[in-house]
Every structure is written in structure tokens, then in C-alpha cells.
Structure 1
Amino acid sequence: MKKIAFLLALALFTSCLLFGCTGKPAAPASTGGSAAGADGAAGQPVTLTFLNKYPEDNYRPYFEQAIRDFEALHPGVTIQMESVSDEQIKDKLRVIAGGELPDIFFTWPGEFQRKFDRAGLTLDVTSYLDADPAWQSGFLPAVLETGVYEGRNHSIPFRYSAMFILYNKAIFEKYSLSEPKTYEEFLNICETLKQNGETPLLFGNAQTWYGAWYSGTFNQLCVPYDTKMNDYNPAVGEFTDPGYIQALQSIVDLQTKGYFSPNVLSVDYYQAREQFCAGQGAMIVDATSQFSIYEENCAEDWGFFKVPPIAGAKGSADYITGGAEAYAISAKTQAPDMAVEFVKFLTTKEQAYKMTQETGLPNPIIGGIDENNSSARLVEAIDMVNQYKGIAAWLDTDVEAKVADAFMTAVSDCLGGKDPAEAMKSVQAAAKEVRDSQG
């Protein structure tokens, strides 16, 4: 009897160690939202926190279902998603960057992400890609490259987008206009439309990120590529090349020549988009990620063309303005293998194809977009994007935040009458402040 009692006591003691003295499994330890428990341990529950950017009704259900499907494939794994809007996620990540990041978080490759990479906050996922050649080779190379820092992959793209000029086909046909191949032809189209009482180009900069699309594009066209990329490095950037002034002047010229819609400083991007869909203007600058919005809402047929190169400008026409959206993994996650497994699940060809089909978000997977899951326009646009050497990332995420703010302010100031050369001085001052802080 004493032996039996001893064995029972030993069993109870062991049970308390494993499950807590209540007889229930002990709650796993948590470290600021990182996944609990040993990564991949048999029977051990794993919870991953996931910060995403798509709270809208036309996007959120897809991600919620994807999480349910992943959890069904991985019993014991829980994905806790928080989904916030575009601007909110920028603010949120800036605030929490000094503390504990979510296990998996949305990011824009470029300086927005590189600051996390430099601080050692993002997991180097290169070895995971190398260990799965099929997964690695499934991405469009130029898009996968956007997440590389110092030769190593620190994020995985799940969506990408590129900028085009959309045009109202009925208006173009009315004046016998065709898609321009050069910037001079584009300006001639604008002039013809203006002379006939049409609004050539719908634009609004009440939300200054839209102006950053313009300035980033003109920077790409007017500034030598290597110079631009050097300036976009916060440790050394100076922004003294005259191409930056030419880029701002190009935006100003569109306004002073009367090619922009009126009230550019009080109208925002969404209002300009609504006006285009209502047939109130001939052209608008927008990204492939928004094509589904135009497909659903435009009253008239529309087409699109590349932003044409400027004769004599010293930038590169081999790159198209755009960018990827990606998922990075916290370097402090306690479950790196499972976090990578979730990101891999979201970026399989099958899942990416489904994302594009259900949400209209273009995926970066080779063969992941066709006319069965997206529009013929998007298929054509993606084919055009793939002919470029690479993607020049959105200005407001590719440079340091202070420099980005200075650029966006410079665009607004120039639209308000400030000389581009004077406006660039504020950008140069912001760049100096950032350089000094790096030292």
C-alpha cells in the first residue's frame, strides 16, 4: 500500500509540474504577444499574433477565412489577427517598434521596413526560402528582391502594385487620341483636351501621400538611378541632384498649364477617383491594386498606359513606380517555424490565386494572375510590369519618414506657388537632420 501511495503521489506531483495543480494545462507563458510554447513541440499550443492592413469589408473576410483554413491544417495553432487601416498601421508600427512587435506583421519594403531590419527586429527568412526551392522560385524575382536587406531576405511579399495612367476611352475616341509613347505626346494630349473644355488629369493632394506617387515617379524619370538610390539611404542621402528640382517642376507645369483638375489642395485621391469613374475627367494616375475598384464603379470604358519617359531626363525608364506589400516576422518570436509556415501558406500559388480572385489584390506569384481570377486589364498590366527591370518603390515608404514628410510638403508647397528649388531645400535639410542622427 505504501508503494502504491508513493506512486500515486509521484504521479500527482508530475501532473502538477506539467499541467498546473488545477489539473488543467498550465497557461503558456507570453512575452509581449510572441508565440507561446516551444515551436513545433508535439501537442504544445502555439499562438501567433498577426498585424494586418485590410480591415475593409471587401478584404477582411478573405483573411479571416485563410486563418481558419490554416488553423484547421495545424491543430493547436491559433492566429490572432488585428487588422487596421493604411495610415493607422504606419503609426502603430512606429509606436511599438521600440517594444515587442507582433509575431507576423504587415510591412512596406523600402526604408519603412529597413529601419526594422537594421535594428535586428525582423527575422532573416533566407534559410527558409533556400530550404524550399519551389516556394522561393514561385515569386516574381523583382518583387521578392524588394524584401532583401544586406543580401538577406527579411520579408515575404504577398501583393504588389505598379502605377499607370488610366484614361477614359470615350473621351480619347472623341478627340481621336491614342495612348502616348513619349512624355511630349502625353503633354500634347493634355493640351488638346484642355482646348476642348475637358479636364485632362484628375488630381487631388488633400492627402499628401497621393502627391508622393507623383514625386516618386518623376524622381525615377529625372534622377539617375544610382544617385536616387544613394540619396534614399538615410545615412548618406543629400538630394542635391538637379533632377529632383526638375521632378517637382514637372508636377508644377501640369498645374500651371491647366492640366490638373481644380482645387488640387482641397480635393483628395478618393474624390478624384470618384470623378474619373463618373466620367468627369479624361485621365487619372493610379495603381494596379485599385483596378478592381474601377472595374466595379466606372460608368464608362477605360484603358491605361505606362507613364512615358521624358526626353533628355537622366532617370531610368527601366523601372516602374510601385511596390510590394509584405509580411515580416519578428526576430523575437518564440515560434519562428510556425510563423514562417503561416506566411508560406498565404503565399502558396493556390492561396495567392484565391486572394486575387476574392479581393482583387494582385499577387506576386508566377502564374498567380490570369483571366479566371482577375480582369483582362489586370492581366495585361501585370504582363507590362514584368517587362520592366524592377520596381521603384513608393516614395513615402522608400525614404526615411522625415524625408518623406518633407517631400510631401514640398509637393503641396509647390502646388501652392513655391519655387521647386526653394522647396527642395526643406528636403535637403530633413535629409541632413536624418544623416546627423545616423552618426
Structure 2
Amino acid sequence: MKKGVRVLAVMGLVMVLSGCAQSRQAHTESAAAFDEPQYDWGSISGEKLVIWGIYPEMERSYITKAFDRYQEFTDNELEIVQIPKEEFEQQVLASVAGEIEKPDILLSYGGTNIEAFQPDENFYDFSDAVWVDDLTDTSINQTVYNGKIIGLPHWEASVSGTLYNKEIFEKYNLEIPGTQEAFLQVCETLMQNGITPLYMPGKEISMLLYQFPMDCLVEDTDILNGLNDGTLGYDDLPKMREVAEWYKNMAQKGYLGETYRTDDWNGMSEAMDSGKYAMMLCWDTWLYTDFTGDASQFGIMPAFVGIPEEGTFEGPNLGLFIVNKNSERLDAALDFITFLADPYNYNAVFEGIYTAPVFKNQVASISTPQYLEAERLIERHYRDSTAWLRIRGFSQMDASCILEYMDADGKETAEECLAKMEALRQERLKCK
């Protein structure tokens, strides 16, 4: 099958879930099946490659292991430059404009997130790379830009929804809700028993995660195309009003606690371990990468953020290693990518990591217990991460408008909130 044909099929849920299903057996297999290199790499030595990424994303254990392994095996040097999130896009744009030197390799997310970086002019096209056929369908969906495979996904693949404290649910005889109304009833029962229903770190704007319900909206291609061609805005979508109103209702009823405006990422682990909060919008692998408490106390259920009625799970957003095709060290950069994509290497660095597979031959990682426990529920309500990848001008940071609306005390309507979000999106598009 031609790659172009396969790319058109990557949104198919059945194929996505087949990739997830593979992970159920992963922990029973051995990476020893790949006890020697499968691809041709390592003939280039004595080079120094400069890699840019957002701080602290290149400190993930499997990435640092891969970096160390590459330098040990090839005698090449990697200069790792970590840039604060709020400065990353500005720095990359400055390099694209020729104001500062470009890196050889960029670690970034794909889709419309890289649109401003002029991918066709600046990024290498991997569509014919030897490793493309080893990517799961979920992974390919993350890599496609303008019909090309724009980078190598080398990341943990998570499932997002609502993490919930199973002990608290059991104590108050609560079951996983099946509707938006049932979710609010759960929240009310928790409040009546002195438990704050949902920890929401409002100071970390991106953690409002309003893209979860938007994935449902843009399954309608007319809506997605309308947003992208300018014939529709957020404020034209009645369902978006339901989303904004959900946040405001949660705040007004006290379901987010009194300190949600100042709660941040650094407080997530402590909050969920304290027993004072019952739930949090998040992804399953967080319990194994950032949480310092007992992960077994938690399960995962759908995210009930106003829509859809039955809630939703979101598939992963994968970091991509993207190559500057104009680099003076292009051959060395491509050699590095081939190294990362080799089952011999990625199984070594992902061994024991909780993640669904990014590669078909990824046999050393293991699925989270939360995924395995909720597998059937996830299959029914799973959606690819579409809004975040495919809506032009989308930014998680536009949730700042929702936060302002939550605090507006009736001085702002949901429509006005959405109009402000749309204005920010359009302003961003003008700069691209």
C-alpha cells in the first residue's frame, strides 16, 4: 500500500485501537528479539548536533537514555538546548528568520503547532524513511504535515481523561458516571462529604485542557474546515458555549475548590495524594512520570467537560524529532534519527516505561494498569487528539479567556468569552 493511501486512513479508530491492543502483550515479550541493530546507522562520527526542545521535556528518562546511548555508540556529541515554553516559539521563529543560528534537530509537537515554522522550506521529509512502516497508526497521525512525514515520534503514548481516586469513590459508593449530569451528581456527593471534586491547576493555563471536548466537535469535518478557512469561529458554535459554561458552573458550585486560580502543575502530585481531591483531568502516564504517591489508588474514566454527553478519552500528543533539512550536518542528523527509530535502540530505552507503543515493534514498554482496567470503556469513547493538532491557530493558552469568564461574576457572557478566544486565534494566524 502506498504511504499516501495509508496516511489518509490514520484517523480510523479501529486501526488506532489495534495499535493500543498490541501493548497488552508487550510486557510478556522480550526486547531480546532485537539484540542487534536493524537499520544502518553509526558510520558518521566526530560530529556535534544541536538539539532544541521545550524545558524540561528532554529530561524524560527514555530521552536522556537515548541521548547517552547514541553518544556512546557513535562518538558524536549532542548539545541539548532546553528553552522555556513561553520562549520556544519565538526562538524557533527567530532561527527560521535567520536572526539566530538554526538547530540541527528540533523536538516539537506536530500538526498546526509547527505551521509558523515553514515546515516545507525548513524540515526534512521522512515519507520514504525505512522506519515509517514501523509506526503505529496513532503515531502516523501525529507526524503528518501537508501530506508528509515531518518527524520521528519518540515519546510515551498516553490516554487522557479523568483520573479518579478509587478509594474515595468506593468509600462514598460512587460509580463511574455515564453522562454529564451523572458526573455533576458525583461532584455534588463529594462536596457534601467534604471532598473537593476536581483539582484544576488554573495557574497553569494549558491544564484547563479545553481541547478534550473540542476533539468531539471537530470530528465534524464541516466544523473543522470552517474554523480553518475562516467561515466559522469559536463563538459561532453552540457546543462551545456549553464547554465555557461547564467551567464556570464547576467554579461557581465550588467543585474546583477555593484555590484553583493559584493551583499549578507543581501542586498536582501533592493534591492528588492528599485525599482532599477526588479527580483531575490528566493522562494515565502522568501517574508514572510525575506522581509521587501510590498510582494504584487511581483509575481513569472519561473527561466530562460539558460535551460530549457520554464523556471522552483523548489519544496522545507525541513529541517529534524534526530535522533541519538545511543543516550543514544533515547526514549526521539523519543518522541520529535512524538510530532513535531502530528497534534495537528504542526497546532498550523504553524498557519498563508505562506507555502504549509508538512503534509496532516496541515490545519492552508496558501499558498502564489504568488503561488495562478501563480498556473497554476507552474503546467506546476514544478520540484522537484532533483539535490540538488540526485547528489552525489553536493554543491551549487561550483557556485564559475561559478562566476570566469563570471569574467574571456575570459581567461577561459565554459568547463574549468565545469571541475573545477567537480573536486571539485569528491574531495568531495573522503572524503565520
Q: Is the 8 A contact 2:161 2:312 kept in 1?
A: no
Is 2:66 the counterpart of 1:66?
Answer: yes
Say whether 1:265 aligns with 2:265.
no
TM (norm. structure 2) is 0.76
Which residue of the partner structure matches residue 391 of structure 1?
A: 384
- Paired position in structure 2 for 1:220: 215
Give the whole-Å Cα distance in 2 for the aligned partners of 1:309 and 1:92: 34
- Alpha-carbon distance in 1 for matches of 2:342, 2:302: 29
Closer/same/farther in 2, CA of residues 349 and 288 from structure 1, 3 Å limit: farther
What is the CA deviation profile of residues 152-173 of structure 1, one whole-angstrom value per residue up to 9, with x for unaligned ones?
A: 1112211133312111111101
Q: Is the 8 A contact 2:200 2:263 kept in 1?
A: yes
Structure 1 residues 80 and 285: alpha-carbon distance in aligned structure 2, compared to 1, 3 A threshold: same
Name the Cα RMSD after superposition.
Answer: 3.6
What amino acid is aligned across from residue 201 of structure 1 in structure 2?
Answer: L
- Give runs of aligned pairs for residues 239-388 of structure 1, distance below 5 A: 239=234, 240-293=236-289, 296-298=292-294, 301-307=297-303, 320=314, 322-357=316-351, 364-366=358-360, 368=362, 373=366, 375-377=368-370
Go from structure 1 to structure 2 and tell me whether the alpha carbon gap of 1:377 and 1:351 turns closer, same or farther (over 3 Å shift).
Answer: farther
State the AA in 2 paired with 1:104.
Answer: I
Residue 422 of structure 1, CA deviation: 0.9
1:205 maps to: 202
Residues 78-123 of structure 1: per-residue CA shift (max 9 Å, x gap): 3322234544544433443323431111111122212224562111
1:14-36 C-alpha deviation (Å, 9 max, x unpaired): xxxxxxxxxxxxxxxxxxxxxxx
In the alignment, does 2:176 pair up with 1:179?
A: yes
Note the alpha carbon deviations across 1:111-140, whole angstroms, 9 max, x for none: 221222456211111122xxx2xx223222
**Residues 250 and 432 from structure 1, CA distance in 2 versus in 1: closer, same or farther, beyond 3 angstroms?**
same
1:141-152 matched pairs, under 5 angstroms: 141-152=137-148
Inter-CA distance 319–228: structure 2 relative to 1 (3 Å threshold): farther
1:263 CA displacement: 2.1
- Determine which structure has more spread, i.e. the larger CA radius of gyration: 1
Q: 1:97 to 1:273 in 2, by over 3 A?
A: farther
**Residue in structure 2 matched with residue 80 of structure 1 by the alignment:** 79
1:68 is displaced (CA, Å) by: 3.8
5+ long unaligned stretches in structure 2: 1-40
Give the secondary-structure state (helix, strand or coil) at the position aligned to 1:252: helix
Q: Name which structure has the greater RCO, CA cutoff 8 Å, separation 6+.
A: 2
Structure 2 match to 1:101: 102
Percent of residue pairs identical: 18
* 2:197 matches 1:196: no
Which stretch shifts more, 259-268 or 47-56?
47-56
Taking the aligned partners of 1:426 and 1:394, their CA distance within structure 2 comes to 18
Q: Distance in 1 between matches of 2:119 and 2:89?
A: 18
Asked if the contact 1:201–1:283 (Cα under 8 Å) also holds between the matched residues in 2, the reply is yes
For the residues of structure 1 that align with 2:140 and 2:341, how far apart are their CA atoms? 11
Selected match of 1:413 from 397, 404, 414? 404
Distance between the aligned counterparts of 2:204 and 2:166, measured in 1?
Answer: 27
Q: How far did residue 266 of structure 1 move? A: 1.6
Aligned-pair CA distance for 1:258:
2.5
Answer yes or no: is 1:424 the counterpart of 2:406: no
Opposite residue 305 of structure 1, the aligned amino acid is: M
| TM-score normalised to structure 1 length | 0.75
List alignment gaps of at least 5 residues for structure 1: 1-39
Cα distance in 2 for partners of 1:282, 1:170 equals: 9
Taking structure 1 as reference, are residues 97 and 410 closer, same or farther at Cα in structure 2, changes over 3 Å only?
Answer: same
